[in-house]
Amino acid sequence: MAIIVDNDTRLVVQGLTGSEGRFHGLRNRAYGTNVVAGVTPGKGGQDVEGIPVFDTVADAVEQAGANTSLIFVPARFAADAVYEAIDAGIGTVITITEHVPAHEMLRAYTYLRPKGVMFIGPNCPGVLSPRKANAGIIPAEMFSEGAVGLVSRSGTLTYQIGHELTQLGLGNSTIVGIGGDPVVGASFIDVLEKFEADAQTELIVMVGEIGGDEEEKAAQYIGEHMRKPVLSYIAGFSAPPGKTMGHAGAIISGSSGTAQAKKDALEARGIQVGTTLTEVAQLVAERMK
């Protein structure tokens, strides 16, 4: 098993005819993902190396059976692309696009949440279920199949922990990059809930960073609702207050949103927090013996 994307994923790439959409869409297909369609308004009837292109997501759903959307459109069109995918009946929407205005994402979030859509992103690396499907920009060659679930706010740190685990002979059930913007679709809790219910996943690694309180909320959820072990890493212990560090959401104010506050909240619930990603991987190896 796996979560979010798997062998049943039928992927439509919104923006497939653009340079980024084409590059990663074809990489995802080469990995084994069932990329059934692309969407670019005005280019319906064309194809990208055999992948049919439609004018609308509704056409891709009706004619190609798409059930998952991967969005690679410019930021000014991203929110509209999300609405289009949802209205076409897509159940999983993954938005790679960065620099999407927070107020537009907030409106999109309030629109999609009651509909039960699994929305990942924006400004995220996507989702990978090794040997099943890759929907996004995650370098799949770094990961192997296994029993460790991974959810992260940071793309780069996701890749590093995947490499560290692979070096120790450990694999992943699914890797989920939820994105580092102030407003994102799926939270840590949304993904943790799915990992808890997934038969393949035996242990979860949660990679957080400074800013916001999502890690603190996750700590409470883990303590109250999860039976599977969770390990964590928090990036940003050296970040100065009031300064954005990389992601738009990675900003702290006073003592709120600091790495130390997140670490304390997690450890108060019995969740081990590694000081480095290498240490986290070693902790995982010890737990998986």
CA distance 183 to 191: 16
Catalytic residue flag (residue 247): yes
Annotated catalytic residue within 24, 103, 225, 247: 247
**Residues recognised as catalytic:** 247
